[in-house]
Structure 1
Amino acid sequence: MAGVWEPGHRIPPEHELMAEYACSRMTVNKAISALTERGLIDRRKRAGSFVAAPTMHRAMLEIPDVAVEVERRGRRHSIEILERTEREGDSDDRRLLAMTAGPVLALRGIHRADGTPFALEERLINLVIVPAAADIDFTRESPGRWLLGHVPWTDAQHRITATAATAAQAAHLDLHPGAPCLSIERATWRTQERITHVRLLYPGDHALSARFIA
C-alpha cells in the first residue's frame, strides 16, 4: 500500500517470506491468499505472485488526470485554486467520502489549457487517510496528479452525466448560464477506505475515450 512495490512487481517466494518474518509456510500462504482475495496480488501458475494493477487500470473507460489530458493535446496546463477549506466533515462530506467523522480538505479549482478554461474541479480529500494533503501547494501540482503519484489506491468508481452549467460554473468556464456540460464524478478507495471524491465539469464538447482489453 505504500507503493514501494509497483503493479507487476514479483512478490518474493514463500520460503524467503518465511525466513524474513520467522513464520510457517501455512501463515505465509494464508496471508498471500487473503491479499489475492482483496485484489492486491495476482497469482500466476508457475510464474509466482505479483502486485496487482489497480482495478481501474483494467477498466475499458480511461479517464486520466486533467493535467495529463491537457498535456496530451500539446497545450500548457495550469490550475487556479479558487477555494481551499480544511474542516470537520459535514453530513454531505461524510456521505461522499463514506466516513463517520474526521477532517476533510475541500478544494475548488479551475484547470486551464494555454490560459483557456478547460475544466472546473470540486474535490474532497479524506484527511484521516491522507493527512499529508493538508500541507501540499496544489497550485504547483494539481490535486489529481499529486494523489495519483503519492497515494496508492485499489478501486475507483465513475459517474458520468450531462448537465447544464449554473451561473457560477458558467462564469468560471467562460460559458453562458445553462450551457451544456459533461460532469464526471470519481471516487477512489484504498481497500475499504475512501480517499477522495472529485467532480470535474467540462464544456459540453469534451470527449471521452474508451479502450477494450482482451
Structure 2
Amino acid sequence: MTVEARIRRDIEARIHSGEWRPGHRIPFEHELVATYGCARATVSKALGGLAKDGLIERRRKAGSFVAHPQVHSAVLEVPDLAQVIAARGEEYRWRLTNRRIADQAGDVPLPALLVEGVHHGGGEPFALEHRLIALAAVPDAAHESFADEAPGTWLLRHVPWTAARHRIRAVEATTAEAKALGLRPRGACLELDRTTWRAGQIVTHVRQLFRGDRYDLVAEFRP
C-alpha cells in the first residue's frame, strides 16, 4: 500500500467510525508529513482525493475539515441481495455461470475479474449479474471462486466503499436474458448499473437485471 493510500485509509477510518465528526479539523499538511514521513505533495494528493470524494473540505489558509453531509441529497444503499431476498422470507441461492479474467473492462482498469451469475429467490430467478472487479484495488478477489457466495456479498464484507454511482432504468430483456429470468421475450426489467470506488480507486462495476414483476425500488428520505 502506498503512503498516499495509507493516509487516505487512516483518515477515512476516523471519519466513518465517528472519531472525527463533521467540522473536525484534519491535522495540517506539515503535521501529516511528520507523522507519515513523506513528501508534502503526497499528503496534498491524499487530501485532494478525500475532498473529491466529499469526505473533507479544504479551506484556503484554514486547513482541512471533515465535511458536513449534504442535506439536499439522498444516497441509495449498495444492497446485499442475499439479505434483501432473505428479508422477504424467501430462500436465497446464487448460481455462478462465468468467472474469468476479463480482456475488456470499460472504465474498470485491467487486470479485472469478470463474474456472472444468477440470484434466485424462492426457487425462481430474481436477477442476473454481470460484474467486473478491479484486481489492483481488490487483489484477494483473484483467489475467490465465487461459486458459493455472490461477489457483491463478498465485496461488502471485505472492501468498504467510499463513493458509488447508480444508474437505474427500465429495459426490455433480450431473448437470452428473458430465458434466464423465466420471462416472456422482451419482458420488462429493471436495470441497475453501479460503480463503486474506494479512496478514488474503482473497486467494481456491476450490471444487475431484475425481473420487473419481482423488484420494487424503495428509498426512505430523512432531513
Pairwise TM-score range, normalised by the shorter structure:
0.7 to 0.9
Structure 1 counterpart of 2:18, one-letter code: H
| TM alignment of 1:20-99, pairs within 5 A | 21=35, 37-38=51-52, 39-40=54-55, 59-87=74-102, 89-90=103-104, 93=105, 95-97=106-108, 99=109
Deviations 1:84-130 (A, max 9, x none): 1113x42xx1x232x3xx31111110001132111100101111211
The answer on whether the counterparts of 2:49 and 2:200 sit within 8 Å (CA) in structure 1 is no
Q: CA deviation at 1:60?
A: 4.1
Instruction: Return the alpha-carbon distance in structure 2 between the equivalents of residues 181 and 164 of structure 1.
Output: 6
**Structure 2 portions without partners, runs of 5+:** 1-8, 21-25, 38-42, 58-64
**1:159 & 1:138 partners in 2: Cα distance?**
25
Letter in 1 for 2:100: T
For residues 172-199 of structure 1, the C-alpha deviation after alignment (integer angstroms, 9 at most, x for no partner) is: 1111111111100000012321111101
2:22 is equivalent to residue 7 of structure 1: no
Task: Extract structure 1 runs of 4+ deviating beyond 4 A.
Answer: 2-6, 29-36, 49-53
TM-score (norm 2): 0.72
> 1:144 aligns to what SS in structure 2?
helix
2:169 alignment partner in structure 1: 161
Which residue identity is paired with 1:179?
G
Moved more, 68-77 or 30-39: 30-39
Letter of the 1:133 counterpart? A
Larger RCO (CA under 8 A, 6+ residues apart): 1
| 1:52, distance to aligned residue in structure 2 (A) | 9.0
Q: Percent same amino acid at aligned positions?
A: 37
Partner amino acid, structure 2, of 1:188: T
Distance of aligned partners of 1:129 and 1:51 in 2 relative to their CA distance in 1, 3 Å threshold: farther
Structure 1, gaps ≥5 residues long: 24-28, 43-48
Q: 1:136 to 1:22 in 2, by over 3 A?
A: closer
- Relative to its length, the structure with more strand (as a share) is 1
1:199 counterpart = 2:214: no
Pair 1:33–1:182, CA change in 2 (3 A): closer
Q: Which amino acid is the alignment partner of residue 208 of structure 1?
A: L
Q: Which moved more, 1:203-212 or 1:62-71?
A: 62-71
**Aligned residues between the structures:** 195
Q: C-alpha distance in 1, partners of 2:145/2:76? A: 30
After TM superposition, give the deviation of residue 32 of structure 1 in Å.
9.6
One-letter code aligned to 2:51: E
CA gap of 1:35–1:202, structure 2 versus 1, over 3 A, is closer
**What TM-score, normalized to structure 1?**
0.74
